[in-house]
């Protein structure tokens, strides 16, 4: 399994991050806001755990949305440590 992690930057608006988490990780607004705050405060936050292929697709979706909106938001997939 792989976890999808969104990384903090000083340029992407917090509201955009919340929208991305809601849209691509199927989180309600309150949960998406909590994850966004974790990203903001800790430098990164886990948005979900998926199979390797699904995680890679989620990363591509987030990066594509960020690029289309002109934001430098970064998202990575990391193997889940057991």
DSSP the chain: -EEEEEEP-SSS-HHHHHHHHHHHH---HHHHHHHHHHHHHHSEEEEEEE-HHHHHHHHHHHHHHHHHHT---EEEEEEPP-
- 70 lies in which domain range? 2-79
pLDDT tens, position by position, for the chain (82 residues)?
999 999 999 999 999 999 999 999 999 999 999 999 999 999 999 999 999 999 999 999 999 999 999 999 999 999 997 7
Q: What's the confidence (pLDDT) of residue 38? A: 97
Specify the number of domains making up the chain.
Answer: 1
Cα–Cα dist 64/52, whole Å: 18
Q: What is the pTM of this model?
A: 0.94
Residue 52 is encoded by which pair of tokens? 């390797």
């Amino acid at each position: 399994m792989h976890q999808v992690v969104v990384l903090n930057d000083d340029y992407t608006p917090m509201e955009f991050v919340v929208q991305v988490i809601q849209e691509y990780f199927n989180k309600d607004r309150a949960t998406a806001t909590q994850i966004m705050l974790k990203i903001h405060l800790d430098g990164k936050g886990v948005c979900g755990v998926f199979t390797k292929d699904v995680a890679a697709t989620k990363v591509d979706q987030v990066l594509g949305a960020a690029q289309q909106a002109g934001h430098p938001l970064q998202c990575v997939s990391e193997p889940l440590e057991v």
